Structure 1
Amino acid sequence: MDKKERMEQLADELNRYAYEYYALANPTVSDKEYDKKYDELVTLEKETGIVLSYSPTQRVGDVTLPEFNKYSHKAKLWSLDKAQSVDELREWHNRNIKFINDYNKTSSEKLPDIKYVVTKKFDGLTLNLTYNKEGILEAAATRGTGEVGEEVTAQAKTIKRIPLKVEYNDVFEIHGEAIMTKEAFEEYNKNASVPLKNLRNGAAGALRNLNVRETAKRNLSAFFYDIGYNQGQPFTSYQEMLSFIKEKGFPVDEYIKVCSNMEEIEKEIKFIEEIRFDLNYDIDGVVIAVDDIRTRELLGYTIKFPKWAIAYKFEAQEATTTLIDVIWNVGRSGRVSPTAVLEPVELAGVTVRRATLNNMDDISRKGVRIGAEVFVRRSNDVIPEIMGVVESSLEKSTEINPPSECPACGGHLILDGAHYFCDNTLACKPQLVKTIVHFASREAMNIEGFSEKTAEQLFEKLDIKSISDLYKLKKEELLGLDKFGNKKAENLLNSIEKSKDCELYAFIYALGIPNVGVKTSKDLVKRFKTLDGIMNANLEELLEVPDIGEIVARCIVEFFKEQLAVDTINELIKLGVKPYYEELEIRENFFEGKTVVVTGTLKNYSRTEIKDKLESLGAKVSGSVSKKTDYVIAGEEAGSKLTKAQDLGVAVISEGDFEEMIK
């Protein structure tokens, strides 16, 4: 074998390994073996001066281009007509039905009943790839006018999920959307001198950057969904086309739904709207496209749009508004955090008046100032975040300064890392009130009838200074509180008394140890069995507990080093609090020691109930599917986790199977 043949062999092997790693999440070689072959290919390229166009070394992006070249697409990239109401969609659907019915009245070759394919509408930058007769990626281009775009081949090659070579012997063009995930966005912004303002600009700016090193840094992803030009066998349906795209190794979104009427379409729109903010990338709607290709051809096009597809647009996730002020709030941990007060603006269906500013470092890095126009983004159901400023609005703005003392109690502030903290933990109202509320919450000590308003009254009127003071309350004291009568006072005292007998994990969780939630509390109890065992555990012992890393372990050690914490726990025990742990006797069963993932909707169990049931059987319940998963319990409307389990060959069982297995 000569050197060029060896290079071709290595390129094919490395590209296959990359597909298995990035697309299938199922690597077949070790990193060491991959690196060895990659280094051999690099050496051969240097020796011969030859670089194959589909070589994986071309993904590095170690080049700066002098300019963008124009690229003429082989087939036009059409825009989509947009609907912003269900009524507009219904009109479009009715026109399609009428067309098919009218056509079938006069034609002997009937069109099939209407069938639509519903997919997500990605909010990124359209990318069109051209592959030659050898199946090699020849060019990549932006949409541009739809007929002529900018060539971005070097930039596109940095997207690891894009195949550089496919098994197909006819020229074709495939287009999709280059996107930036939230993880890639956050990772890039950690070290960026000028942070990106949103995911879409992050993707668009990366593809349209002549410095391909910068493109590579942004770690773009992509989804593909259309073959615009194909010299090979034509497709008969959109579903067939999508199967071809997936089969050839292109990344295809897992969400593809087939609908036959408006009721089904509306159901899918509602579903996507509900999960929209849980996705790790941006979408701005759904696309509804006719499935049958012949029907599409007969429906045809307007001057701008195909008649056979339409986009249903969601409310925008991002808007600009004016930053009026910054207020500082004290959290239960004592952290003093800034919150932006905004000129009210409509965003993703709600009126936004407040937004997150993480800390002074975040404010400085983003250049945020009072009086400036800011980009506000709602990426999930929590308070929106300010992503950056409109540069032209800075002229009349003023600087944001941190507070000199605690805004709640006037106490001394200390700077720890990027955050300010009030060190007056005993008498700073927000800290004590929230500590008591957390202690009394359902998953902690479960003191029924206890609210934040009650905690505030205890602090203000009864001079409560510690969570242990709850167990010293007297009825006559409670009767002096607002809206407390005999019955309410008795009920609260009964609930407090009842809470003394509590499960040890609930007591540990109630203490409010930083970074220790319910699951970690259960893991600690399962390992150490007793309160003393947990309190006296050292760092090495804690690190042996599954899913506890160094940060959490240090938080636990530091918490129990504090004499105040130890004194409070001892006083609670003296006052009659009796945390207990009953080790379950686990009978031998299919799930003991197994890792199980639950996905979809179950008929007989809520998520909490199935989790508790599995843990009682000795199983570990995980939120994600991997090669280490033993079983996936799939309910109705199971999605990506089911697909991944099938791809990895993980055992998938139904709810009925589960019931049979535990009998």
Structure 2
Amino acid sequence: MDFKEKMGKLITELNNYNYHYYTLDQPLVSDKEYDALYDQLVALEAETGVKLPDSPTQRVGGEILKGFAPHRHLAPLWSLDKAQNIEQLRTWHDRVVRLVNDYNTKNPGNPLPNPCYALELKFDGLTLNLTYQDGKLVQASTRGNGAVGEGILPQVKTIKSVPLTIPYDEGTIEVQGEGIMNLSVLEKYNQTAAEPLKNARNAAAGALRNLSPKVTAERKLNAYFYNVGYSDGITFADHKEMMDFLRENRLKVNPYIFYFEQFDDVMEQLADIEKRRSELDYLIDGAVVKVTDFRIREALGYTDKFPRWAVAYKFEAEETTTVLQSVTWNVGRTGKITPLARVEPVELAGVTVQNCTLNNIGDIERKNLKFALGSRVFIRRSNDVIPEILGKVTEENDGEEILFPVECPSCGFPLEQRGAHLFCNNKTGCKPQIVARITHFASRDAMDIETFSDKTAIQLYEELGVREPADLYTLSFDSLVKLERFGEKKAQNLLDAIEKSKERDLASFLFALGIPNTGKSTTKMLADHYRDLYRVMAATAEELVELPDVGGIVADSIAGYFADPFAQASIEKMLSLGVQAQAPEAPKPVSSDSYFSGKTVVLTGTLHLLTREEATERLEALGAKVTGSVSKKTDLLIAGEKAGSKLAKAQQLGIDILEDEEEFVRLLNE
């Protein structure tokens, strides 16, 4: 195959993907797969010096949709050059510094300042271009091909974060931003949607390019703005001044924007953003680095497609496509039957993925996966957890059927469907349930029986007839030492660890029981509130639902668990064998007259004079409420060294900030 034939094949494939992605809103491949093919084409064009007229490298964006009026932008909407790794990012920075130095050599009488940098999130949504005339929103459009977009004013008007009028009423301006769907909104939407949406990016793009503004309104979209692309009456000295202008004109600016004088600080913040991207309530696929000074921007200028003063740093992809090969069904400690998907191995976020979660049978049906075996599916990985299947690439039922089990795959007991889940109710005779309950009971956050593992639980089940956690306290040295891989030392160590676990407090014991729908924070709250095991066991659902963070489902789960004779007998057996389930220490008196009394406080960054745990304990003793995230309800942020996004958000919200650690300690000691 000669280079033109190879180039033509790549162009045909890429243009087909572009058509489905931009025009039909039906992506056939992930961004990662598209970028790989695009980079092949760029390399081939660079190698041969040939660029065919229909190559996607010769344009920006896609075709205009029929049904929308075209809108010619008053100034071009530029694409951004990409940096795929730190080396490419440093190459971009070195070029900026070189061009600034060259300019200053040629213009010694009016030199440019040293370049400083703004760092912003790169949203994974749909670009918006808003036109305001004399303070009124008169047009909104998509990016289109960078010169002409599609008019979507009625759709954009449904986004409540977009102002219909702004204070600036002295001419015409165009501002650019990103239309997005928050992840929490997407999750809530899919709970009741007849046709669930695959992901937040496609949900936003599909809504904004829907001919019915009513559909757009139902998606409850959001928007952030980051640029003034055109103005006939106002200029800015730097990026910060422009961002201030956007905020002053009621345009929503994302709080995660950082300014740096040194490029090494940009690198450090980039790493922090990538590490914590899963904490955000919206999708990002990277970050954008911009030179802040507008004189430097003007001097650096543009290539045919990109500004030289900005670059997009792409994060490792979190979404791709692969083939769904099979589905197996696993039994958990509560009897819940969970489907596990086996997919064709694929690289995603730096690891090879072969298994994906499907949650439950309701999830399979909502995502149109019932007939998906052998079909290509979207998968997404975030926060280092097992990837999730988002949905099929195509809408057709073109795969084999996923068959739902009617009997427990482990013990053969008839399954019961409760809501979207299947359950095996054979609590006393289903091996995976029993082994999982025993393993959970012995885990670190529960009874913390050292050296215990799921392999130990399986061996005790199979060889010594252990059928419930209470049986652990009946084990003997003579029985353990006879087991395979159990010598005298290992047997004695396990018995010592089991004996020590009898001293665990009430909160640990309640968590160890594995009450459905109840986690560590809830069991600690129960222990602190009731301070006695029998009072917890006697609590009614009506009483429990009045407690903090306990809803109806959790209250019913707790009351129902302790009403079960099997659970009652197991608890009584453990107590008779010496388990103490000790009540927590009486709460220490809380000060009401300190500087921190009644304040909601957030800690961020590195503290050197005391640990984060020590700081939290002392703040709470002085009457403060310590939380993990910054919001409008936050009264004070304690910012240690290398404080990042929380500090930026606190500054954006006008929250009091204490950055002097010595002053912080002095106030604690007052």
Identify the TM-score tier after normalising by the shorter chain.
Answer: 0.7 to 0.9
Aligned pairs for 1:340-359 (under 5 A) are 340-359=341-360
Contact preservation (8 Å) 1:199, 1:282: yes
1:78 shift after superposition: 0.5
**1:212 counterpart residue number:** 213
**1:406 counterpart residue number:** 408
Contact preservation (8 Å) 1:372, 1:394: no
| Aligned equivalents of 1:660, 1:484: Cα separation in 2 | 55
Flag the 1:122–1:66 CA change in 2: closer, same or farther, 3 A.
closer
Moved more, 321-330 or 541-550: 541-550
1:374 counterpart = 2:377: yes
Moved more, 312-321 or 215-224: 312-321
What is the SS of the residue equivalent to 1:339?
strand
Contact preservation (8 Å) 2:127, 2:179: yes
| Aligned equivalents of 2:635, 2:94: Cα separation in 1 | 48
Flag the 1:391–1:494 CA change in 2: closer, same or farther, 3 A.
same
1:454 shift after superposition: 1.2
**1:48 counterpart residue number:** none
1:556 counterpart = 2:558: yes
**1:94 counterpart residue number:** 94
**1:437 counterpart residue number:** 439
Gaps of 5+ in 1: 1-64
1:466 counterpart = 2:468: yes
**1:328 counterpart residue number:** 329
| Aligned equivalents of 1:347, 1:626: Cα separation in 2 | 33
Moved more, 171-180 or 254-263: 254-263
**2:84 counterpart residue number:** 84
Name the amino acid aligned to 1:622: T
Aligned pairs for 1:48-197 (under 5 A) are 67-107=67-107, 108-133=109-134, 135-168=135-168, 169-197=170-198
Instruction: List per-residue Cα deviations over 1:302-332 (Å, max 9, x = no partner).
Output: 1111111111112322211111100111112
Instruction: List per-residue Cα deviations over 1:402-431 (Å, max 9, x = no partner).
Output: 123212222331111111111111232221
Name the amino acid aligned to 1:380: N
Name the amino acid aligned to 1:152: I
Name the amino acid aligned to 1:409: C
Contact preservation (8 Å) 1:66, 1:210: no
Name the amino acid aligned to 1:232: G
Flag the 1:386–1:468 CA change in 2: closer, same or farther, 3 A.
same
Contact preservation (8 Å) 2:300, 2:308: yes
Instruction: List per-residue Cα deviations over 1:80-132 (Å, max 9, x = no partner).
Output: 11121222222221111111112112211000112121111111110000111
Normalising by structure 1, we get a TM-score of 0.85
| Aligned equivalents of 2:614, 2:444: Cα separation in 1 | 16
| Aligned equivalents of 1:230, 1:648: Cα separation in 2 | 28
State the identity as a percent.
51
| Aligned equivalents of 1:526, 1:651: Cα separation in 2 | 32
1:615 shift after superposition: 5.0
1:525 counterpart = 2:527: yes
Flag the 1:603–1:421 CA change in 2: closer, same or farther, 3 A.
farther
1:386 counterpart = 2:386: no
Moved more, 538-547 or 105-114: 538-547
| Aligned equivalents of 2:480, 2:381: Cα separation in 1 | 42
| Aligned equivalents of 1:201, 1:214: Cα separation in 2 | 14
Please provide the CA RMSD for this pair.
2.3
Equivalent in 598, 602, 608 of residue 607 of structure 2: 602
**2:518 counterpart residue number:** 516
1:268 counterpart = 2:269: yes
Flag the 1:363–1:448 CA change in 2: closer, same or farther, 3 A.
same
Instruction: List per-residue Cα deviations over 1:443-488 (Å, max 9, x = no partner).
Output: 2212222122211211111110111111111112221233322222
Equivalent in 657, 661, 665 of residue 659 of structure 1: 665
| Aligned equivalents of 2:614, 2:480: Cα separation in 1 | 36
1:269 shift after superposition: 2.3
Flag the 1:650–1:172 CA change in 2: closer, same or farther, 3 A.
closer
Equivalent in 585, 589, 613 of residue 586 of structure 1: 589
Contact preservation (8 Å) 1:355, 1:385: yes
Name the amino acid aligned to 2:602: V
What is the SS of the residue equivalent to 2:439?
helix
Name the amino acid aligned to 1:201: N
What is the SS of the residue equivalent to 1:578?
coil
Flag the 1:89–1:164 CA change in 2: closer, same or farther, 3 A.
same
Aligned pairs for 1:266-305 (under 5 A) are 266-305=267-306
**2:35 counterpart residue number:** none
Instruction: List per-residue Cα deviations over 1:472-519 (Å, max 9, x = no partner).
Output: 111122212333222222122111111112211111111111222222
What is the SS of the residue equivalent to 2:581?
strand
What is the SS of the residue equivalent to 2:417?
strand
Contact preservation (8 Å) 1:376, 1:385: yes
Name the amino acid aligned to 2:242: M
1:570 counterpart = 2:572: yes
Name the amino acid aligned to 1:84: Q
**2:236 counterpart residue number:** 235
| Aligned equivalents of 1:464, 1:429: Cα separation in 2 | 11
**1:252 counterpart residue number:** 253
**1:422 counterpart residue number:** 424
| Aligned equivalents of 1:319, 1:593: Cα separation in 2 | 47
Gaps of 5+ in 2: 1-64
Flag the 1:89–1:453 CA change in 2: closer, same or farther, 3 A.
same
| Aligned equivalents of 1:656, 1:579: Cα separation in 2 | 41
Moved more, 501-510 or 590-599: 590-599
Flag the 1:392–1:505 CA change in 2: closer, same or farther, 3 A.
closer
| Aligned equivalents of 1:482, 1:610: Cα separation in 2 | 48
Instruction: List per-residue Cα deviations over 1:105-163 (Å, max 9, x = no partner).
Output: 22110001121211111111100001112x11111010111111111111111111111
Flag the 1:115–1:630 CA change in 2: closer, same or farther, 3 A.
closer
Aligned pairs for 1:486-525 (under 5 A) are 486-525=488-527
1:656 shift after superposition: 4.2
What is the SS of the residue equivalent to 2:389?
strand
Contact preservation (8 Å) 1:373, 1:393: no
| Aligned equivalents of 2:458, 2:100: Cα separation in 1 | 67
Name the amino acid aligned to 2:376: E
Flag the 1:606–1:193 CA change in 2: closer, same or farther, 3 A.
farther
Flag the 1:93–1:354 CA change in 2: closer, same or farther, 3 A.
same
What is the SS of the residue equivalent to 2:504?
strand
Contact preservation (8 Å) 2:619, 2:668: no
**1:21 counterpart residue number:** none
Normalising by structure 2, we get a TM-score of 0.84
| Aligned equivalents of 2:458, 2:666: Cα separation in 1 | 51
Instruction: List per-residue Cα deviations over 1:576-605 (Å, max 9, x = no partner).
Output: 111222213325353566644333443355
Flag the 1:420–1:378 CA change in 2: closer, same or farther, 3 A.
same
1:637 shift after superposition: 4.2
Instruction: List per-residue Cα deviations over 1:272-293 (Å, max 9, x = no partner).
Output: 2111222211111111111111
Flag the 1:171–1:274 CA change in 2: closer, same or farther, 3 A.
same
